Amino acid sequence: MDFALDANQESIRDAIEKICARFDDAYWLKKDKEGGFPIDFHKAMADAGWLGICIPEEYGGSGLGITEAAIMMRAISESGAGMSGASAVHMNVFGLNPVVVFGTPEQCERMLPPIVSGKEKSCFAVTEPNTGLNTTQLKTRAMRDGNKYVVNGQKVWISTAQVAEKILLLARTTPLEDVKSPTHGLSLFYTDLDRSKIAVHEIEKLGRKAVDSNELFIADFEIPVEDRIGEEGRGFEYILHGMNPERILIAAEAVGLGKAALRKATDYAKARNVFNRPIGQNQAIQHPLAKNWMELEAAWLMTLSAGWQYDQGLPCGPAANSAKYLAGEAGYHACEQAVMTHGGFGYAKEYHVERYLRESLIPRIAPISRELILSFIAEKALGLPKSY
């Protein structure tokens, strides 16, 4: 059993750190104040070939695993880019996995290279206002009309829809009352985001202003049949292939964010003198930070374990969800403690830790709540009756 990163994984981390070094705290502070998608950061990642880290080499990607992608996403977040930097490329890393697995060779050739090169950006439209995490109850309808589908409905919390050229959309093609199981009758599409048929309204939110979140209003949106991924009615099954990787990646991002906050807090504790001694000499400062370090290290090991299980083709649902839960909590606690370590200055934007704290709420909330993870673990790992 070897817990060390191999030479290739270390080189990935080092290469990402070099790119991120060009986008310092001042860059992300400005983005946090003014908003606007970090196009130059996205382009730098694309130009270096990292957007396709998990996409097969024959389509321009690197063909690496989710473990390597997790190392990359942690490095981005840990650089100080936080969730703003990570979310700018997050969708590119895991989002098109259903296309890779279930798309035809023609679809893969047509859809994947533009994402890898950065020529196109995509958004992932699943969540709806009145269904939340109960995906089987989606109301957005896609009705077949000859060689196209006509879609009507509404989506919410759709990241990057302000700048995306493409949309990965889950919609119901068979009414719920006509299917044997609620998971049947949903279909997956990857197609052009037609803004004449899809109204995109940005949601003002607490943090991560650089990466937009949106509500989508879809009216008579036409999708060619050739843009449907896989078989009609099996879309829910297909998106499941992206859910575990997403949980693993957001866990890595949460660990990276927590590490960035811990670094800021530790540096401040060494430099800040009160009563003629550095505050970091006081156990009341030391002990919480030491606990943060241990929690982050444990969460990272769980993340690597989940990534390894996924890359080996093993069932990884409990591990992926556990990683997301543990990392979300560890990252939040580290960011909170970083603010408290800075005292009053922790509340000042120029010290950056208040931004980290705001962003640390994202991995606790999305893409699945802590409570539903606990219910899932109780059922799948402990064998208790399903509670939801």
Q: What is the pTM of this model?
A: 0.96
Q: Return the half-sphere exposure (C-beta side, CA atoms, 13 A cut-off) of residue 273.
A: 2
Lowest mean pLDDT among 109-113, 133-137, 163-167, 233-237: 133-137
Alpha helices in 142-234 (DSSP H): none
Residue spans per domain, the chain: 7-117, 122-231, 237-380
User: Span 132-144, mean pLDDT?
Assistant: 92
- Angstrom CA distances, 49 to 45, 59, 160, 192, 245, stand at 6, 12, 20, 23, 20
Task: Name the fold adopted by 7-117.
Answer: Butyryl-Coa Dehydrogenase, subunit A; domain 1 (1.10.540)
Q: Does domain 237-380 have CATH number 2.60.40.10?
A: no
Provide Rg for the chain, Cα atoms. Answer: 21
User: Span 336-346, mean pLDDT?
Assistant: 98
Amino acid making up residue 324: K
User: Span 380-385, mean pLDDT?
Assistant: 98
* pLDDT on residue 132: 80
pLDDT per position as a tens digit, 307-322: 999 999 999 999 999 9
User: Span 97-109, mean pLDDT?
Assistant: 95
Tokens 């430099």, residue located? 271
Q: Assign 241 a pLDDT band (cuts: 50, 70, 90).
A: confident
Measured between alpha carbons, how far is 213 from 202 in angstroms, rounded to an integer?
Answer: 6
User: Span 22-41, mean pLDDT?
Assistant: 97
Is residue 352 predicted with pLDDT exceeding 90?
Answer: yes
Burial label, 80 (beta-carbon count in 10 A; 0-12, 13-18, 19+): buried
Strands 273-274 and 122-125: unpaired
Q: Is there a contact between 217 and 156 (Cβ–Cβ < 8 Å)?
A: no
Q: Assign 245 a pLDDT band (cuts: 50, 70, 90).
A: very high
The rounded mean pLDDT for the chain is 96
- Angstrom CA distances, 122 to 71, 82, 138, 255, stand at 22, 20, 21, 25
Is residue 93 predicted with pLDDT exceeding 90?
Answer: no
* pLDDT on residue 78: 98
Lowest mean pLDDT among 34-48, 84-98, 156-170: 84-98
User: Span 245-251, mean pLDDT?
Assistant: 96
E-assigned strand segments in the chain: 122-125, 141-145, 148-159, 166-172, 186-192, 198-202, 213-224, 228-229, 273-274, 277-278
Q: Assign 360 a pLDDT band (cuts: 50, 70, 90).
A: very high
Q: Does domain 122-231 have CATH number 1.10.287.70?
A: no
